[in-house]
Structure 1
Amino acid sequence: MIRDPASSNPLAGNPLTNLADMRRGVIDLFDPLLPYFSAGNARVRIDAAGTQFDRAAADLEGFARPLWGLAPLGAGGGDFRHWDRYAEGLANGVDPRHPEYWGTVNGRDQRMVELAALGFALALVPEKIWAPLDRRARDNLIAYLKHARAFDYSDNNWKFFRILVDIALDRLGVAFERGLTERYLNELDGFYIADGWYRDGNVRRIDHYVAFAMHFYGLIYSKLVDDARARRYRERAMLFARDFRHWFAPDGATIPFGRSLTYRFACAGFWSALAFADVEALPWGEIKGLCLRHLRWWADKPIAHRDGTLPVGYAYPNLLMSETYNSSGSPYWAFKAFLPLALPATHPFWAAEETPLEDRTATVALKHPGMVMMRSEMDVVALSCGQENQLTRCGAEKYAKFAYSARYGFSVESNERIFTGGAFDSMLAFSDDGLHYRVRETNQEAKLAGETLYARWSPYPDVTVETWLIPAPPWHVRLHWISTPRSLQTAEGGFAMARHDFDADTRASASGSAYAIGNEDFSGILDLRSTIQREGLVQPAPPNTNLIVSKTWVPQLRGTIPAGDTLLRCAVLAQRAPSAVDRAWAEPPARPELDALRALVADQGITVSAIEAPGSLP
C-alpha cells in the first residue's frame, strides 16, 4: 500500500470547527517535536539543515516558537503535559554554565526574535514557566532578557520583540530602562501608512508581515497594556481587517505573496489576534470563519514529514522557496494561529456561528500594497505592482509578478540559466542570449487608476517596459509597451496548473495561445493582437518550483521583439473548471488600447504607497 503523504499532517481529520478541535490541533502539531528536545530540554533540533545564524540560535527557535500556541492553550485552561520541559529548558538555556546555553546576544541576533515568544509566554502564563524556577534560574533569565534588550534591533517588526520582552519584565515586577520601550513604540508608529496598513520597515514591500507581525504584536500589546497607544492599535486593526479579508478565498486559502511563507497558517494570526484582543473588526462569525477556514485549508495538504514535524516549505516540503533565515524550527511560527485558545468557550469568537464574508465584491482596489483583488467562488487573485525585495532569495518571484493566486500560488525559478525552461508564471521574461534572463525586480513608477494598475520598470539598464494590468473577471488583461535598443527574446506566462502523472492532462498550443486542462482546472494565455507574432507553449515547469503543487504546466507566449518599440497584449484565465475551455475561454475580454490606458493613468493615477518608501533594506 502506498501511503498518502497528507496522512502525516497532524491536522488531518480534525474538523477544526470549535475550541476543542483547536486544542487538539495545537497538541497534535506539538507532540511530534518531543523526540527532538535535547536532554536538558533547552534546544529543539529537527534536522541538520543550516541557516544564516548559528546552531544554538536555531535550536532556540525550535524551542521557543511553539509557545505562540502553547501559551494561549495554558492561559485558556487547556491541558498540556510538558510545561516541566519548558521550565527546565528555560532555566538551562539562560545558564552560561550549562552545555545547552543559548549563547550571549552581542548585536542584532536571531535570539532577539525568539525571546519575543518567551516574553509573550512569561506575560501570559508565568505560573507555568516562571513560578517553577528557583532563584538562580530567575536571576539568569532576567539578566539574559535585560542584556539582549540593550542592543539595537532591526529597523522593522523586530522592534516589537523588545516591547514583548518589556511587557513580561513589567508583569514580573522587574525594573528596567523604560525609555527604550517608548523609543521603539514611537519608531514602530513611523512605519504606519494609513487605513490600517504598515510597512515592515522603510522598504518597498507590504506583505503578510503587516498581518502576522505588525498587527499581531500590536493587538497582543493592546490586550496586555491599557494605554492610548493600545487603543490606536485596535483602531488600526479594525481598518486593516476591511482590506485584508479580501486576501482570502472562500475555501480558506490566502494569497501566497512575499517572504516567510513557510510560516504557513501564521497567515491566520491576524484573525486570531483580533479574537485574543476582543476586537470585533468584522462580525464575529466572519472573523471565526476566516480563521478556521484557513486552518482547514491546510489540513489535507502534505505539509509534514512522516514523523509529523513541519518542514520548510509551503503546501509540501520545499527548500527552493526558503529564505536564508529559515531553520528547521522556523515553520512553527504557524502557531500564531492559535491565539484564540486563550479565550473561554463563552467568548463571542467561539460562540458565533461561522459565516462567509458579507462583502463579496468581485474586484477591490487596494492602493497601499498596489493590488487589485479579483474574487470568485473558487479563488482570489491579486493583480500586483509596486512591490520589491531584491535581497530575498527569489525576491522577484515573491514580490514582482503580475498576479498571485490563492489556488495556483506562484513559482520560484530554480536556475537563472534556463530561459528556455523557466516557469515564468505571471511574469514577462527577457533574454539577450537565449540562456540567461531578466524579469521585473523593481519599478521606477507604480500607479493605481481606478482598478487599473500601471508600472514602469527596466529588465536591463537600456530597456524600458511600461505595464498595465486590468481586471476582467474571470480573466485579467496585460499590456506591455517595450522600448529596447536591441532584439530580445521574450516569454510571458499564465498561471501554473497541477501536472499529473503520465502527462495525462490536455494541452493545446498554437500561434498566439496556449492552455492546459487537468482533472479540475483550466489555465490559459491568449495574445490580443500584439505588434509581433508570439507562439503558444505549454511549459513543463521544473519540479518543486510552485508553492502549491510540486509539478506544474505553465501556458506561455514566446516571441522575439526587435529593436525599437513593441506592444505586447494578452489575456490570462485560470479556473477550477475544465469546462472553461468551452465557456470563458471562448469569450475573451476586449483588447485594450494603449492611448486610452495612458490617458486613464494620467488623469486618475495615484502613486502606490508601497513604492513611496526609499527602497529595499535588509
Structure 2
Amino acid sequence: MRELVRELVAPLLPRFSSGRARLRLGGNAAHYPDTAAELESFARPLWGLAPLAAGGGTFEHWDLWREGLANGTDPGHPEYWGAVTDIDQRLVETAAIGLALALAPETLWDPLTGRQRDTVATWLQNAMTVKAVENNWQFFPVLVGLGLKRVGVEAAPVAERLDLLESYGVGAGWYSDGRNPQRDYYIPFAMHYYALIYAALGDDPPRACRLKERAAMFAHDFQHWFTTDGAAVPYGRSMTYRFAQGAFWGALAFADVEALPWEVIKGHLLRHVRWWLNHPIQDDSGLLTIGYAYAQPHLAEQYNAPGSPYWALKAFLPLALPETHAFWQAGETAAPPLPVTSTQPEPGVTLMRCEEGRQVVMLTSSQHHNWVRHGAAKYAKFAYSTAFGFSVPAGTWGLEQGAFDSTLALSDDGDHWRPCEIPQDPSARAGLHYFRWNPWPDVDIETWLVACAPWHVRIHRVHSARTLQTAEGAFALNRDVLCHRTETGPGHARLLSPAGLCQIEDLAPSPARRGELVAALPGTNVMAPRTTIPTLLAELAPGEHWLACAVLALSDPPVEWANPPSLTLALAAQDAVATRLTQSLPWLELGG
C-alpha cells in the first residue's frame, strides 16, 4: 500500500504551481472558486502521504508540500489561499492539513522557518473559529486542533462541536450526517472516520471510549455492504471518492478497535482497494477522474472539482501504524459467511447477498437528498447493486434520457417522466420496506419492497386523478457486449449476455403491462458507459391500480431464464403486509 500511495500521487507532481500552493488538474466546474479547488488538489493527497510518513514510508517530494503550505497561508504571497470564512470549502481541506501535522510534524512542520510556522498557525487557528455546516463538517476544526496541539500551538476548544457530533447518533452504531435522514457513506468515511482519529489522538478518554464503541457496533452492519471480492454498494452522493468507501476499515485499525477479527478487517480493506484497481479510474496521465467505475463527469456533485477524487486516499490511514501492529501482522482472510439478508432500520436498507456473496443488492426506502445533483437517482431508487450500480438521468425527455433503472417512473404527457423523489412514512423491517410518495399532488403511491434473494418483489398501489403512463425498470446491463438472448412481451422483459442476466416479470394480472428494452443514453450508469434497461410499460386510467413485479439481476447468469417467486411466496413471512395485501388483491391467493 505504501507504493500505491506514491503511484497515485506521482501524476500530481508536474501540476504544481510555481509557488507550490496550488495544484491545477483541469477545468473547475464546482460551486467554489479556483482558489479553493486548487487548495483541495494540494491538500487531499495528504490523506495518504501523512500516514505514509508517520509509518516510516519514504517519499521524496515533501518539499513541494512544505513550500506550498508556507506560501498558501502567507497573506503576502501571490498564491495565498485566503482566510477561511464561514461555510467555506477551504475549511474542508484544512482537515487533511491538520491530520498531517498531527501524524508527521517532523516532516511537514519542523523544517519550516519560525515565520512560516507563524503564518501556518495563524491561518489554521482562524479556521477553527468559523461557522461550519452542522454535519460532518464539525469535525474539520477538530482535526485542525489535533494538528496544532501536536506542534505546540494553542487551539480553540472543540468540546461543543464534539457534543453536537455525538448528538447525531441514532443507535446501533449509526449516525446521521446532521439533523436529517442522511445515512450514507458519509457515516463510515466521515463521521466514524474522523471520530476514530480523534479517539486515537485526542485527550478525552471517556469520549474516545464512546466513539470506539459506536464504531465497533457499526462495523457489524457495514460489513454487509461489501461483496466477497471487495466491491461496495454504490449508493448516495460523492461516489467519486471511490475507495474512501472502505476507509472505515483502516480507521478501525488506526484507533486499535478490533470490531471484527483483525484478519477480517484487513481483508475488507485490501479487497476493496484491489477491486478499485481493476477499474479504469485514472486518465492517461494517471490522474484520478471524476466518476465511479469509469470516468463519468455526469455523476459529479456541484462540489466536485478535479482534485476531489483524492479523498480516496483516506483508505491509507493504517499506513501510520507500525509494522508490528496486529492489523499488519494478521493474515488476510476471505470475507466471513454472512446471512443472506440484513435489514438495517437506522439507514432504512436491506442488504441481500446474492450469488454466494459475489453481488450485494440494497433495497432502500427512507432516504432522499434533493440538494445534490441527481439526488433522486442516488438515494430514492428501489434497489442498488454492486454489479449493476444505478443510473442518473441525462435529460428530462423520454425514457432513454431518464435512465429509469430500479424505479417506477410516471408521465402524464408521455414525454416527461417523474420517479420517486421523496419517500414518506418509511419503514424497514425483516426484509420488508414500505413508503409513500407523490409525483403530483393528485397522485398518491404506496410502495412495498420485499427481499427474496436473489429476487426482490415490488408492489405499488397507485391512486391517481389523472391518466398516467408508467415505466418500471429493472437493473441496467452493459450493452457493449454481444447479447445472447432477449425477450420482451406481455408481462416481461429479459436480457441475457456475458455481462449478466436481468429480468423483470409482472406478477399482477391487470393492468396489462408490456415489456420493452430501453437503451439508456451513454454515461448514465455508474458501472458501464452504455446500458440497456428491461422495463415494463402500461397506461393507467384515473382511479386506483395495483402493480406488482419481481426483479432479478445476476452477474454470473445461468443459461436459461429464472422462474420468479410468486407474491404468495414472497409475502409468506410478512404477516402484517400479507393480511392487508390479501384483502386488497383478490388474485393474490392464486399465487401471483
TM-score (norm 2): 0.95
Match of 1:612 in 2: none
Counterpart Cα distance in 1 of 2:20 and 2:559: 55
Q: For the structure 1 residues 530 and 270, does the alpha-carbon distance in structure 2 shift closer, same or farther, using more than 3 Å as the test?
A: farther
TM-superposition CA deviations, 1:332-376 (whole Å, max 9, x none): 000000011111222211111212333421011101111111002
Contact 2:400 2:519 in 1 (8 A): no
Whether 2:249 is the aligned partner of 1:265: answer no
Q: 2:168 aligns with which of 191, 206, 222?
A: 191
Match of 2:194 in 1: 217
Q: 1:545 aligns with which of 521, 524, 531?
A: 524
Contact 1:367 1:448 in 2 (8 A): yes
Match of 2:403 in 1: 423
Q: For the structure 1 residues 110 and 434, does the alpha-carbon distance in structure 2 shift closer, same or farther, using more than 3 Å as the test?
A: same
Instruction: Give the C-alpha shift of residue 50 in structure 1.
Output: 2.1
Whether 2:543 is the aligned partner of 1:555: answer no
**RMSD of aligned C-alpha atoms?**
1.8
Contact 2:343 2:429 in 1 (8 A): no
Counterpart Cα distance in 1 of 2:523 and 2:401: 14
Whether 2:109 is the aligned partner of 1:130: answer yes
Counterpart Cα distance in 2 of 1:375 and 1:285: 21
Counterpart Cα distance in 2 of 1:534 and 1:496: 19
Contact 1:499 1:505 in 2 (8 A): no
Counterpart Cα distance in 2 of 1:134 and 1:304: 37
SS at match of 2:285: coil
User: 5+ unaligned residues in a row in structure 1: which ranges?
Assistant: 1-21, 605-618
TM-superposition CA deviations, 1:223-243 (whole Å, max 9, x none): 102421111111000000000
SS at match of 1:477: strand
Match of 2:441 in 1: 461
Counterpart Cα distance in 2 of 1:145 and 1:602: 59
Q: For the structure 1 residues 217 and 107, does the alpha-carbon distance in structure 2 shift closer, same or farther, using more than 3 Å as the test?
A: same
SS at match of 1:398: helix
Contact 1:447 1:601 in 2 (8 A): no
Counterpart Cα distance in 2 of 1:193 and 1:269: 21
Structure 2 residue identity aligned to 1:122: L
Structure 2 residue identity aligned to 1:141: V
Instruction: Give the C-alpha shift of residue 505 in structure 1.
Output: 4.7
Q: 2:122 aligns with which of 138, 143, 160?
A: 143
SS at match of 1:446: strand
Match of 2:477 in 1: 497
Match of 1:328 in 2: 306
Contact 1:438 1:459 in 2 (8 A): yes
Match of 2:350 in 1: 372
Whether 2:182 is the aligned partner of 1:175: answer no
SS at match of 1:553: strand
Counterpart Cα distance in 2 of 1:570 and 1:80: 56
Contact 2:401 2:521 in 1 (8 A): yes
Counterpart Cα distance in 1 of 2:262 and 2:573: 41
Match of 1:615 in 2: none
Give the % identical residues.
48
SS at match of 1:212: helix
Whether 2:221 is the aligned partner of 1:247: answer no
Match of 1:600 in 2: 576
Contact 2:400 2:520 in 1 (8 A): no
Whether 2:181 is the aligned partner of 1:204: answer yes
Counterpart Cα distance in 2 of 1:113 and 1:526: 46
- Range with greater deviation from structure 2 (354-363 or 285-294): 354-363
Q: 1:577 aligns with which of 556, 562, 573?
A: 556
TM-superposition CA deviations, 1:43-91 (whole Å, max 9, x none): 1110013210011110000000010110000000001011111111100
User: 5+ unaligned residues in a row in structure 2: which ranges?
Assistant: 581-592
Whether 2:382 is the aligned partner of 1:402: answer yes
SS at match of 1:458: strand
Structure 1 residue identity aligned to 2:167: G
Q: 2:414 aligns with which of 422, 429, 434?
A: 434
Higher relative CO (Cα under 8 Å, sequence separation at least 6) belongs to 1
Match of 2:565 in 1: 589
Q: For the structure 1 residues 420 and 298, does the alpha-carbon distance in structure 2 shift closer, same or farther, using more than 3 Å as the test?
A: closer
TM-superposition CA deviations, 1:177-219 (whole Å, max 9, x none): 32xx111011101111111100001112210000000000000
Match of 2:137 in 1: 158
Q: For the structure 1 residues 599 and 456, does the alpha-carbon distance in structure 2 shift closer, same or farther, using more than 3 Å as the test?
A: farther
Q: For the structure 1 residues 602 and 520, does the alpha-carbon distance in structure 2 shift closer, same or farther, using more than 3 Å as the test?
A: closer
Q: For the structure 1 residues 265 and 420, does the alpha-carbon distance in structure 2 shift closer, same or farther, using more than 3 Å as the test?
A: closer
Instruction: Give the C-alpha shift of residue 170 in structure 1.
Output: 1.6
- Range with greater deviation from structure 2 (549-558 or 339-348): 339-348
TM-superposition CA deviations, 1:115-170 (whole Å, max 9, x none): 01000000110011110111111111111111122111011000000100111122
Q: For the structure 1 residues 407 and 518, does the alpha-carbon distance in structure 2 shift closer, same or farther, using more than 3 Å as the test?
A: same
Structure 1 residue identity aligned to 2:539: T
SS at match of 1:258: coil
Structure 1 residue identity aligned to 2:462: I
Match of 2:26 in 1: 47
Instruction: Give the C-alpha shift of residue 599 in structure 1.
Output: 6.0
SS at match of 2:448: strand
